[in-house]
Structure formats: structure tokens, C-alpha cells
């Protein structure tokens, strides 16, 4: 009866009472079990009591319920040799030791357990067999963490029944189950709830520098942190550029942002300091999401999609193009042309997005944590210009919501200034009700008494649309009714006869018909005078007829007077093609008469002989140099013959009509003094017998000559200046102005020039600059114009295609920006977990020409300089030292010492643990000096600790050791949606298996028969040394691979491909891109059928004659890790048909079942794939087998 495992334990003696009790036990024959032989060493996994009773449990047994395992250890003794415990729950500064070893199987360090008084690992003792962990029972559900807004209630279980040890498997399944509770909305928002918790720490100082407290106003970290980090009570200092944790964790039920939120993603809720996914049903990790109708787990069938688009608007105005109906869900608005347009939103007549004439940046209203929020995203080009914008509203819409568009320019500046908006939303489908609708036929006659029939048809009660009568089944259908109608006497009426013949055969004529006025009196018809019938209902007497076009022919029309009134002239004719159109003539293109000979374009006229007449044959030069003179001319007598003039004898022409031999003429204004020159020195001439002037001599004459300047415009009408210069009269050479008479010089004047219109040209309007300073880009809106009458006429851009096009971008705001502080990226955190500090470089920079240039720090405001040291936290430490408050100083005066208790705490359980778990962190000091006011009499004080003592005989007391810190980095990971266990049916997609939560992830991709799948591995981070892998398999292929996966492409042979990834560490995995294509080889028959989904109907396929004796198959595939249930509903086979049977194959285990006859059956698979093969009469008669399948959880 030695102590368990105690090879060096102290000898403990039995008390007299214990000895007596044990002897009684032996004497009663109850000790036979002690005669059993012990287990052979290593033959079976021995029962290790430490796996069920940990160190804390052993301390409670030894020292009472308040005892805990010691949080530090002695370095000179193995931790498993003695049981060391904190006996006082409030005092962790010392440990009480009982000299008995810890139970075998007690955990004593990472991957180490106690065995026979030693802390060993499985590698040290190879005889140990692995012990797999098992779950304890569930705890009771906790109270709801919030009274509104969605709190959390949960229960836990532990893997300690037994704990996994010696390399055994951990427990499979969830250790935590949680549900949302009190989900009714609060009066405040979810952000307010988080902000309230942050603000409660405003009075708690922050020590960035030792013993120098600083106080901050703490706000939520929305937009700066997501996932688990956000739940670690992470708050942001208002006005400062850092954030840190203000406690261990936010209250359970605080909202958090998941890594990749979408409209239909599960909601993020903080639970025990982690951001966990809750489905729309309120269950943790249920993966239930809202469908487009806002129904949790729905399939989108309870609503109807409404779509539309918009590309209009007014310049410089917000125009409402969509007012969302109440209860609208999944609203999606996209504007693909946002350079000169942008979206705005008004909710209850208040703008929540844009509204001030400028585009908004990315925004979520009211916040990403709310259930009903609006998410707006703006996408920029590579030049940082607006490219497109996107708006999501999950809904249902509860308030009046208007979506507007603002456009900067009108339409005349081109298509680029128009918005390009598409939108869609969903409205609940109103459930229809049906009833019998009365349908009354028209009366059999319009007057004189008739009958009408009323019958009843099934119709939608809301829309009155007719539907199938089956929908009114169960509602009594009223009987058909007949009733009298139109019993009043008939009024007189017109009766028209047949039309007569047409007035013409083509080109449009008329024909007439007779009319009679009649009245029906019972069975008789009486003829009345025309005035008895109403004129407004009188039928037309005539109608157009003979409307077929007449044939085309050439026509001639005089085009002007005769070229001569006598002597034979020519009359021009206009030749054109036309045809008769009634009383009018219709002109036609010349091509319509091309098959006919064309008429001559001229005809003779004025054929009478013309009388002789005088004609001037020659005119001479003017006799004067300047001023008046005479010009000689020669006349002859001519007569026109056949259009030509022939000279005849002068006697035939009347002498009285003969033209003069000399005509007066004027050359120019003579200069001053010309009269004296003319009388003495001027040119003299005398008349000869022929009366021609003869010049004797001449003197130079100077006159003013006009000179035209250049035109001010090359086209479109300009002005040119006319001025005068002095020139020599005959040679026209420029002379000195003094030689001309200044008094006779004309005034300078302007004349119009180049009146022809200008060609089209490019103009542009400039948009907003991409930067307010430092050099940006400005987009130009180009358009083609034509200038005329002082205004611009906008033309299509094609009109300017021959002109050089201006640049579409221009630089703007080149002046340098004001200097500002710029902080670089921080260095690595000083602590691998928990709080630390990170350094960064803070410099004064100025942005100019697209580059930040460092300038003198004096140019930046000193008060705004960011700190160069900021707090940081990579992740919360799973184990950390927790220090209690310092004790009072050991002396009342002079120098003394203070001590404090330091414990190793686990974040998961918040209880003291073995100090081995915190050895990777520097342990805080437990002893420090202190100073009191000086003592009245100087004495020497020797600092010493004051350890607690105990009178227990078998205990010892020791203090915690000091250790040197070692830092080990740890990566913070975020859980996201996992495709594991999914059946993907899209024709293409991307599958991300890098951050899935499962080590063994299985999914499948399915397509219709006749298609195959091509899969490309975009990236891989699998560790092949740890035997991580990815497996692609189907019925015809199996491939397992790890090495050189990136860029690897595989093509399936069938239409369904299974993908399985096995990995050890989180954060590793592969990223796949898959798409489908037509198969090049057939592995199925024409009658084969493929079924996917959760449930469906199965009907036997029939075989065509061309297939002969080949069987037909139905393939059923469901999501991986689910099972298939097939239930036969009807089997209509004739008796004694032995060759007809159904064969069902379980593909995963390759086992086959055969079913004969008409006995209904129920079948369940062991995997997610099944094949149904039909034989015999099942292939020839459709409907001989009806069944259904469903996917079930294993």
C-alpha cells in the first residue's frame, strides 16, 4: 500500500483507527478484488488517475476546496515529486508542499505528464500508449449576457474524461454551444453599446512611460480592427493614432466585424473574447443565412425580383430615380460611370450619403455592426479618379428611402457625362386567394329584346386574372344565369349598299354606293326618309379606289425663254420622270424611267429672220492720263443667221442707230496743278483725219492707290483694313507720300473678309482635380462644335474625326501641399503576445509632384506630431503572468521592501496554472524597495522578505523564482466561412481552403452529364513534410498531390469531382479556380439522368431503340459527408417478369443491392454518391418506378 508512483516518497505510518478499519474490511471477505494480478507493463493502456484528477483536483483533496496548484516551482526538485498548492485562494505568494508525488497522468508541462514522480514526455517513455480524450457532461446554460440587442447564452464541456495524453487524440466536436437571446432592438445602436464599454475606461490611466500616467478618451475601433482582435476590448484613442485593449474582452453579445462581411454573411458576435459566427437562426456556427427575401434559411421563393436602369438626370441637381418600397430586401445599385455623376441616399428626407454636390467615400450607415445597414463602396481608377460605385441595402426597408443621382454636366457633352445605373431589389410575394368571378356575355342584340349569359370562372381575388379551376376547388360554383337585355325599341339605322365601279383605273379614283334609312319593327324592316336617321352615324358614300400607281414616263417642262427672238434659237427643257396620281402628278427618280428612251433636253424656237443691226467690234484705250478723255470704237453692220452674226453692207443698217466713233471716259482724279500742266506741259494730242488722238509727250503722275491688309479671321467672317499709298500712275510703283496730294488721300476703312464657314473643331470642359495640391490630374470632357453666329453648335464626335484630338488629361493644382507629419510603418511589436510597444519614424513631409519630400520639422505644427512609440498587441497571450497589488512597505520609516503575488493565468479558464505555462514570458518582479519618511534615529535596515510559515509537519514553503524572458511570435487568425462539406453546382468559381477551420476538408463540384471540370491550383501553402495533401478523385480517377501544386491544372473525366484537403496547422491550404467545359469522351448513355440537391423525385428513364440492350442509370449526388436515403413509392411491374430489376450501387464502398418485383423498398447509403441502374421492362415503360431521394446527416 505504498503511495502511488512514489519511488522516493516519505514513509507514512498507519494510524490505529485506519488499521482497525482496514482489518475489518479484510475480515468481511470484501477484499477478493485485491487478489487480481496487475496489468502487464505496456500491454494495455493503463488507467492513469491523473488524467481524470488534475493538479487542482489533487490540491482540493489534500488541502480543501479553496486550494489550487502552485503557479511557480522550485528548480531543484521535479514538479511531479511533491504536491505543491496555494492553500489560501487570496494569497498566491507562497506554496504549501506535501511530500507525496502527483498522480500518474497529471499534466506537468506542454506535452508532458507525471509518471512515477517524474515529468516526462512520450518520447522519453516509449512504453506509454496514447490515451484519447473524452468529453465531460455539458454545463447548465448561462444567463443571457444582454437584456436587448442580442445577448448570448451558452454551455460548455471539457475534454477531461479523460484528458488526452501520451500523443492521444483530442476530443472531436464542439466544446461550446451558444445561442442568441433577447434579440429585440435596444433604444441605442450596437456601436453605442461598444462605445459605452470603451468610455468606462476613460478614468483608467495609461502608462506609456514608466510612472507617467496619461488619460485618453477611448472609442470603438470600427474600420481599424476586425475579427477576434476587436473582441479583446480593443479601443481607439480619440485624436491619436493608436489603439489598445482596455480589458480582457468585451461583454458577450457585443457585435464584431467578421473578416469578409457580405450582405448574406452570418453575424459576428463576441463570445469569450473571440469573434464568432452566428447564423440568422441565432445558433453558433449554424451557417444559416438570409436569402434574398430576408428569410432565414430560405430559397428565395417568397419574393420577386425587380430590376431597372437609369441614365438621365439634370445638371447640378439631385434627381430621385428610385424610391424603395417598404419591406424591400437585397437592394443592389451600381453606377458604372462615376467620373461626372454620383449616387446619394435620403432616408426620411435626410441625406445619409452625399447630398452636397460631391461624391462620398466608402461608407456604411449607420455602421457595419447593425442588422439594417446601408453599405456604399467607391472604386477608383489607377489614376485615383472615380470609376464606379456600388450600394447594398440588406433590408427589409422600414423607412422612406430615396436613391438619387447627381450629374455635373448636361447631355450635350457626350455619353461620358451620363450616369450608367442598374439596380435590383426584391419584394415579398403576396399569397394569392381565389374565388369564382362572374363573367357576363354581351347581349345577343343591341335593341328590341335579347338574351345575355352570366357564367362563373376561377380567378385571383386580388388581380382578377383567370386561373385554373382546380384552384377554386372546395368553393361552390354558382349556376349559369340567363336574363333579358336591350328590350327598348330599335332606333332608325343606316344600311349601305355595294360600291359601284371606280372612276379611274390607276393613280387613285373614287367609287360610290347607295344608302337607305331603315327601322326594324318586330319582324319587319321599314324604309324611312334619310332625315330620320342620325347624320353622325351616316356611313361614307365614297371610297378611294384604283390606288395602284400608274406607270412612269418621261415628261418635259419649259425651263426658260428662247435663246433668240429671231434668226433661230434654242428653248431649254427640264426632262423628268413622273406618273399620274389622281389629279396630281407625282415626280419619281430618273431610275424609274430608265427602261424608256429619254426625251431631248432642247427644242428649236425664234425661227423668224432677224433685221440687220450695228455691232461694236473694237474699243480703244482712253485718251486721258487722268481725268476725262475719249475712247475710240469701231462699228460694223451684222445680221443673225441660224444663231450666228454675219457682216453685211453698212447700207442695210439704219445710219441713225450707228454707235459713236468716240466715247467719253475718266481715268482717275487728277492731282493738284494738273490744269497748268495740261495747258503748258501736259500731254498734247491732235486729231487726225481718222479722228484718232495722237499723244505727243507725257509727265509723271502720282495718285493714291488702295492696299488691303490681312484678314483677322481665316474663316467664319473677319475684317481687313484698307489704307492708301502713293504710287506712280502708269508703273504703279510705290513713291514717297510727299509726291501725292495729302488732301485728296481717302480715309482708312475696314471691309469684311473670309465669310466662308469654319470647319468643326474640338472643345472641352474640365472636371475636378484629383488632388487639391501637390500636382493632380483633371479629366477633360471632349466634344465637337461648330462656331456660327457667335454661338457653339454641338456636333457628333465623328464630325471632328479628321481634326487632332486634345489630350483627355491635364495637370492641375501644381503648387506644393502644406507640410504635414507622416508616420512610417511600425516596427515589430516588442512582445509576441499581450501588450508591447512598437516604434515608428515620424517625419515632416511635403507632397509635391506626386512625391512626399522630407522637409525641416520646424515647418510642421509641433502640437500635432504623432508619437513615435505606440502600444501594440499581436494577440492575447494564452497564458500570462498576473500581478496582484503591492503589499504595504515593510517599515514605517526609512527604507524597506514591498512584495506582491504573481500567478500564471490561462485566458480560457481565468484560473491560476502551473508556472511552466508562462515560462516563455518575463516574470514580473515580486520584490521591490520602498521608502518611508526618515526615521528619528538613523538605523540600518536590511531588506528581507516576510514569508508565510506553516506548522504542518510534512510541508515546506518556498517562493517563486525569477526567470529570464523569451519571446515567441504567435499568429492571430480569424475564422471565416468554410466551403467544407458543400456541393458546388456553379459552372465556374473560386474555392478558398486556406483558412478553413477543419483539418480534413471535403467538398464536391457537380455539373450536368456531358461536361467535365478543369481545376487550377492558384496558390498552395501546404507543408508536405508534415504530410499535408490535397486529393482529387472521382469514379474514373484518383490523384493525391502536395509538391509543386501552384499552377497545377487537372481535368476530370466525369461530371462530378471530389476535392479533399488534409492539413495540420491552421492558416495553410490551397486556393482553387475551377470551370466546366464540354467532355471530349462519353462515359454515359443518352438515357442516363443526373440528380443533385437535398431532395428530389426519381422516375425510371426509358431506352430508345438505338441503344439496344444497354441499361439506363440515374446518378444521385449530395453534399459530402451526408448520406442518401432512397424510398420506393410505386413499382408497377407485371407479374413473373424475372428479367426486370433495379440495381442500386453505393459508390463510396462499391457495394450493390438488387431489387426485384413490386415490393416497395427503403435504402440508405454509407456515402454521398449512389447509382441506380434499371433493367428489363423498366427501360421500356415510363412510370413503372416512382421514388424519391433525400440527403440526411450521418
pLDDT in tens, 753-780: 888 878 888 888 887 788 888 888 888 8
CB atoms inside a 10 Å sphere around CB 1150: 8
Tell whether residue 144 is among the known ligand binding residues.
no
**What is the fold, at CATH topology level, of the domain defined by 983-1078?**
Jelly Rolls (2.60.120)
Computed from CA positions of residues 605, 608, 614, 617, in that sequence, does the dihedral angle turn out positive or negative? positive
**Dist. CA 1024–CA 1046, nearest whole Å:** 13
CA distances, 390 to each of 118, 349, 370 (Å): 65, 21, 19
Mean of pLDDT values over 882-899: 80
Q: Residue 621: which of 613, 609, 612, 630 has the closest Cα?
A: 630
> Is there a contact between 1123 and 1147 (Cβ–Cβ < 8 Å)?
no
Mean of pLDDT values over 602-607: 78
pLDDT of 938 over the 70 cut: no
Residue 909 has a pLDDT of 62
**974: confidence class by pLDDT, cuts 50, 70, 90:** very low
CB atoms inside a 10 Å sphere around CB 989: 14
Tell whether residue 33 is among the known ligand binding residues.
yes
Give Cα 350 distance to the centre of its chain. Answer: 25
**Dist. CA 899–CA 915, nearest whole Å:** 18
CA distances, 699 to each of 93, 350, 677, 683, 694 (Å): 139, 96, 8, 7, 16
> Is there a contact between 377 and 434 (Cβ–Cβ < 8 Å)?
no
**What is the fold, at CATH topology level, of the domain defined by 16-32+44-120?**
YefM-like fold (3.40.1620)
Residue 912 has a pLDDT of 76
Pairing mode of beta strands 1000-1006, 983-984 = parallel
Per-residue cell: 708: 488691303
**34: confidence class by pLDDT, cuts 50, 70, 90:** low
pLDDT of 1021 over the 60 cut: yes
Per-residue cell: 16: 490505529
Residues 6+ apart with CB under 8 A from 1106: none
Per-residue pLDDT of 299-314, as tens digits, reads 888 899 999 999 999 9
Per-residue pLDDT of 349-403, as tens digits, reads 899 999 988 898 888 888 888 888 888 999 988 888 889 999 999 889 989 999 9
Largest CA distance in the chain: 192
- Which ranges in 275-377 belong to alpha helices (H)? none
Domain with CATH 2.20.100 in the chain: 682-741+748-757
Domain with CATH 2.60.120.290 in the chain: 983-1078, 1089-1192
- The count of C-alpha atoms lying within 13 angstroms of the C-alpha of 673, restricted to the half-sphere facing its C-beta, is 9
Rg over alpha carbons for the chain, rounded to the nearest Å, is 54
Q: Strand locations in 325-429, DSSP E?
A: 329-335, 341-347, 350-353, 363-365, 374-380, 386-393, 401-407, 421-428
> Is there a contact between 851 and 865 (Cβ–Cβ < 8 Å)?
no
Residue 1014 has a pLDDT of 94
Residue 518 has a pLDDT of 87
Residue 5 has a pLDDT of 41
Per-residue cell: 355: 447630398
Residues 6+ apart with CB under 8 A from 229: 873, 875, 972
Pairing mode of beta strands 584-588, 553-558 = unpaired
- DSSP state letters, 671-738: PTTHHHIIIIIS--EEE-TT--EEE------EEEEEEE---S-SSS-EEEEEEEEEEETTT--B--GG
Residues 6+ apart with CB under 8 A from 47: none
Give Cα 1088 distance to the centre of its chain. Answer: 40
- The count of C-alpha atoms lying within 13 angstroms of the C-alpha of 730, restricted to the half-sphere facing its C-beta, is 6
Domain 1089-1192: which CATH class?
Answer: mainly beta
pLDDT of 1072 over the 50 cut: yes
Mean of pLDDT values over 1089-1099: 92
> Is there a contact between 1073 and 1015 (Cβ–Cβ < 8 Å)?
yes
- DSSP state letters, 613-652: EEEEEEE---S-SSSEEEEEEEEEEEEEETTEEEE--GGG
Domain with CATH 3.40.1620.60 in the chain: 16-32+44-120
**Dist. CA 665–CA 626, nearest whole Å:** 10
Looking at every residue in the chain, the average pLDDT score rounds to 81
Cis peptide before 366 (omega within 30 of 0): yes
Identify the residue with better confidence: 476 or 925.
476
pLDDT of 744 over the 70 cut: yes
Q: Which of 31-40, 401-410, 457-466, 1057-1066 has the lowest mean pLDDT?
A: 31-40
**6: confidence class by pLDDT, cuts 50, 70, 90:** very low
Residue 621 has a pLDDT of 77
Mean of pLDDT values over 489-496: 85
**Dist. CA 44–CA 733, nearest whole Å:** 135
pLDDT of 1121 over the 50 cut: yes
Q: What percent of the chain has pLDDT over 70?
A: 86
- In this structure, what DSSP letter does residue 222 have? T
> Is there a contact between 707 and 698 (Cβ–Cβ < 8 Å)?
no
Q: Which of 114-118, 873-877, 949-953 has the lowest mean pLDDT?
A: 949-953
Helix (H) / strand (E) containing 227: none
CA distances, 409 to each of 311, 341, 406, 797, 1001 (Å): 13, 9, 9, 17, 54
pLDDT of 587 over the 80 cut: yes
Q: Which residue has the cell 362563373?
A: 456
**What is the fold, at CATH topology level, of the domain defined by 682-741+748-757?**
TSP-1 type 1 repeat (2.20.100)
Q: What are residue 196's phi and psi, to 5 degrees?
A: -65, -40
What CATH number labels 303-428? 2.60.120.830
CB atoms inside a 10 Å sphere around CB 1034: 19
**Dist. CA 634–CA 1015, nearest whole Å:** 107
Reduce the DSSP state of residue 55 to 3 states and report it.
Answer: helix
Q: Residue 922: which of 998, 824, 833, 1035 has the closest Cα?
A: 833
Residue 421 has a pLDDT of 95
Residue 393 has a pLDDT of 92
Amino acid at each position: 500500500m505504498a503511495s502511488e508512483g512514489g519511488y522516493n516518497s516519505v514513509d507514512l505510518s498507519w494510524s490505529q483507527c485506519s488499521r482497525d478499519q482496514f482489518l475489518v474490511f479484510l475480515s468481511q471477505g470484501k477484499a477478493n478484488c485485491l487478489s487480481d494480478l496487475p496489468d502487464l507493463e505496456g500491454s494495455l493502456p493503463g488507467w492513469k488517475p491523473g488524467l481524470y484528477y488534475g493538479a487542482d483536483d489533487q490540491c482540493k483533496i489534500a488541502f480543501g476546496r479553496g486550494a489550487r496548484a502552485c503557479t511557480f516551482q522550485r528548480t531543484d526538485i521535479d514538479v511531479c515529486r511533491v504536491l505543491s498548492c496555494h492553500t489560501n485562494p487570496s494569497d498566491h505568494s507562497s506554496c504549501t508542499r506535501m511530500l507525496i508525488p502527483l498522480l500518474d497522468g497529471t499534466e506537468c508541462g506542454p506535452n508532458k505528464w507525471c509518471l512515477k514522480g517524474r515529468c516526462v514526455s512520450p518520447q522519453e517513455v516509449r512504453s506509454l500508449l496514447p490515451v484519447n480524450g473524452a468529453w465531460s457532461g455539458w454545463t447548465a446554460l448561462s444567463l443571457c449576457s444582454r437584456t436587448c440587442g442580442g445577448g448570448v447564452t451558452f454551455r460548455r464541456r471539457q475534454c477531461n474524461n479523460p484528458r488526452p495524453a501520451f500523443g492521444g487524440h483530442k476530443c472531436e466536436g464542439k466544446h461550446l454551444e451558444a445561442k442568441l437571446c433577447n434579440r429585440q432592438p435596444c433604444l441605442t445602436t450596437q456601436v453605442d453599446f461598444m462605445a459605452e464599454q470603451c468610455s468606462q475606461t476613460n478614468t483608467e490611466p495609461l502608462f506609456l512611460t514608466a510612472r507617467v500616467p496619461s488619460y485618453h478618451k477611448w472609442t470603438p475601433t470600427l474600420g481599424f480592427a476586425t475579427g477576434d482582435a476587436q473582441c479583446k476590448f480593443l479601443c481607439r484613442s480619440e485624436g491619436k493614432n493608436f489603439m489598445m485593449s482596455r480589458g480582457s474582452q468585451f461583454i458577450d453579445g457585443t457585435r464584431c466585424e467578421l473578416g469578409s462581411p457580405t450582405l448574406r454573411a452570418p453575424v459576428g458576435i463576441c463570445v469569450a473574447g473571440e469573434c464568432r459566427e452566428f447564423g440568422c437562426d441565432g445558433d453558433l456556427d449554424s451557417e444559416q443565412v438570409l436569402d434574398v427575401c430576408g428569410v432565414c434559411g430560405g430559397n428565395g421563393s417568397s419574393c420577386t425580383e425587380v430590376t431597372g436602369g437609369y441614365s438621365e438626370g439634370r445638371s447640378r441637381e439631385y434627381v430621385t430615380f428610385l424610391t424603395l418600397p417598404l419591406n424591400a430586401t437585397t437592394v443592389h445599385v451600381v453606377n458604372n460611370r462615376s467620373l461626372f455623376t454620383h449616387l446619394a441616399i435620403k432616408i426620411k428626407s435626410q441625406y445619409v450619403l452625399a447630398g452636397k454636390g460631391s461624391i462620398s467615400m466608402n461608407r456604411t450607415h449607420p455602421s457595419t455592426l447593425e442588422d439594417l445597414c446601408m453599405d456604399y463602396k467607391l472604386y477608383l481608377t489607377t489614376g485615383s479618379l472615380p470609376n464606379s460605385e456600388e450600394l447594398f441595402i440588406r433590408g427589409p426597408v422600414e423607412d422612406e428611402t430615396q436613391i438619387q443621382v447627381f450629374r455635373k454636366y448636361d447631355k450635350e457633352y457626350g455619353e461620358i457625362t451620363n450616369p450608367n445605373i442598374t439596380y435590383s431589389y426584391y419584394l415579398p410575394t403576396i399569397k394569392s386567394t381565389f374565388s369564382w368571378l362572374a363573367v357576363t356575355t354581351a347581349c345577343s342584340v343591341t335593341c328590341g329584346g335579347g338574351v345575355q349569359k352570366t357564367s362563373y370562372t376561377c380567378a385571383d381575388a386580388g388581380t382578377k386574372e383567370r386561373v385554373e379551376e382546380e384552384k377554386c376547388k372546395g368553393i361552390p360554383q354558382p349556376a349559369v344565369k340567363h336574363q333579358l337585355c336591350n328590350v327598348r325599341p330599335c332606333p332608325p339605322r343606316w344600311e349601305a349598299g355595294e360600291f359601284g365601279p371606280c372612276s379611274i383605273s390607276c393613280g387613285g379614283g373614287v367609287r360610290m354606293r347607295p344608302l337607305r334609312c331603315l327601322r326594324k319593327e318586330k319582324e319587319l324592316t321599314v324604309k324611312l326618309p334619310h332625315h330620320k336617321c342620325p347624320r353622325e352615324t351616316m356611313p361614307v358614300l365614297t371610297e378611294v379606289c384604283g390606288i395602284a400607281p400608274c406607270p412612269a414616263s418621261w415628261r418635259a417642262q419649259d425651263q426658260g425663254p428662247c435663246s433668240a427672238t429671231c434668226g433661230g434659237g434654242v428653248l431649254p427643257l427640264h426632262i423628268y420622270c413622273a406618273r399620274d396620281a389622281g389629279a396630281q402628278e407625282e415626280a419619281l427618280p430618273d431610275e424609274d424611267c430608265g427602261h424608256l428612251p429619254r426625251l431631248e433636253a432642247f427644242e428649236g424656237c425664234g425661227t423668224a429672220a432677224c433685221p440687220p443691226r450695228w455691232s461694236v467690234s473694237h474699243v480703244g484705250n482712253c485718251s486721258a492720263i487722268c481725268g476725262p478723255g475719249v475712247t475710240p470704237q469701231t462699228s460694223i453692220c451684222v445680221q443673225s443667221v441660224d444663231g450666228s452674226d454675219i457682216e453685211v453692207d453698212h447700207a442695210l443698217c439704219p445710219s441713225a442707230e450707228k454707235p459713236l466713233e468716240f466715247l467719253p471716259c475718266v481715268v482717275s482724279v487728277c492731282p493738284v496743278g494738273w490744269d497748268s500742266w495740261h495747258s503748258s506741259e501736259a500731254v498734247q494730242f491732235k486729231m487726225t483725219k481718222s479722228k484718232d488722238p495722237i499723244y505727243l509727250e507725257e509727265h509723271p503722275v502720282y495718285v493714291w492707290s488702295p492696299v488691303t491688309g490681312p484678314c483677322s479671321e481665316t474663316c467664319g467672317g473677319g475684317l481687313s483694313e484698307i489704307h492708301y499709298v502713293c504710287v506712280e500712275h502708269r508703273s504703279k510703283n510705290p513713291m514717297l507720300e510727299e509726291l501725292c496730294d495729302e488732301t485728296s488721300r481717302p480715309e482708312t476703312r475696314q471691309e469684311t473678309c473670309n465669310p466662308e464657314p469654319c470647319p468643326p473643331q474640338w472643345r472641352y470642359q474640365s472636371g475636378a482635380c484629383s488632388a487639391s495640391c501637390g500636382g493632380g490630374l483633371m479629366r477633360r470632357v471632349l466634344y465637337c462644335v461648330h462656331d456660327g453666329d457667335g454661338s457653339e453648335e454641338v456636333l457628333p464626335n465623328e464630325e471632328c474625326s479628321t481634326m487632332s484630338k486634345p489630350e483627355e488629361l491635364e495637370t492641375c493644382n501644381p503648387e506644393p501641399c502644406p507640410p504635414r507629419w507622416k508616420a512610417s510603418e511600425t516596427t515589430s511589436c516588442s512582445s509576441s503576445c499581450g501588450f508591447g510597444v512598437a516604434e515608428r519614424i515620424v517625419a515632416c513631409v511635403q507632397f509635391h509632384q506626386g512625391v512626399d519630400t522630407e522637409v525641416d520639422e520646424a515647418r510642421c505644427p509641433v502640437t500635432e506630431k504623432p508619437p513615435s512609440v505606440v502600444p501594440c498587441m499581436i494577440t492575447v497571450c494564452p497564458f500570462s503572468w498576473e500581478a496582484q497589488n503591492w503589499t504595504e512597505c515593510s517599515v514605517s520609516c526609512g527604507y524597506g521592501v514591498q512584495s506582491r503575488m504573481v500567478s500564471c493565468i490561462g485566458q480560457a479558464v481565468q484560473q491560476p496554472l502551473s508556472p511552466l505555462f508562462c515560462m516563455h514570458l518575463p516574470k514580473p518582479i515580486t520584490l521591490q524597495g520602498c521608502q518611508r519618511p526618515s526615521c528619528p534615529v538613523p538605523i540600518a535596515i536590511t531588506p528581507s522578505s516576510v514569508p508565510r510559515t506553516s506548522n504542518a509537519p510534512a510541508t515546506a514553503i518556498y517562493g517563486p523564482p525569477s526567470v529570464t524572458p523569451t519571446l515567441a511570435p504567435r499568429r492571430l487568425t480569424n475564422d471565416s466561412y468554410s466551403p467544407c462539406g458543400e456541393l458546388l453546382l456553379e459552372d465556374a468559381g473560386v474555392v478558398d481552403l486556406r483558412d478553413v477551420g477543419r483539418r480534413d476538408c471535403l467538398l464536391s463540384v457537380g455539373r450536368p452529364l456531358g461536361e467535365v471540370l478543369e481545376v487550377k491550383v492558384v496558390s498552395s501553402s501546404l507543408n508536405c513534410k508534415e504530410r499535408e495533401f490535397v486529393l482529387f478523385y472521382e469514379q474514373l480517377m484518383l490523384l493525391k498531390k502536395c509538391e509543386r501544386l501552384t499552377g497545377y491544372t487537372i481535368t476530370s473525366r466525369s461530371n462530378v469531382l471530389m476535392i479533399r484537403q488534409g492539413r495540420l496547422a491552421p492558416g495553410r491550404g490551397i486556393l482553387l479556380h475551377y470551370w466546366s467545359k464540354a467532355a471530349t469522351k462519353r462515359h454515359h448513355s443518352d438515357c442516363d439522368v443526373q440528380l443533385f440537391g437535398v431532395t428530389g423525385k426519381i422516375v425510371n428513364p426509358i431506352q430508345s431503340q438505338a441503344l439496344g440492350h444497354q441499361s439506363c442509370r440515374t446518378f444521385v449526388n449530395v453534399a459530402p459527408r451526408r448520406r442518401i436515403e432512397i424510398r420506393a413509392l410505386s413499382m408497377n411491374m407485371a407479374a413473373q417478369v424475372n428479367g426486370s430489376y433495379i440495381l442500386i450501387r453505393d459508390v463510396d464502398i462499391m457495394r450493390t443491392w438488387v431489387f426485384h418485383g413490386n415490393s416497395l423498398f427503403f435504402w440508405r447509403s454509407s456515402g454521398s454518391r449512389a447509382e441506380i441502374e434499371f433493367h428489363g421492362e423498366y427501360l421500356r415503360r415510363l412510370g413503372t418506378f416512382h421514388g424519391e431521394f433525400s440527403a440526411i446527416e450521418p
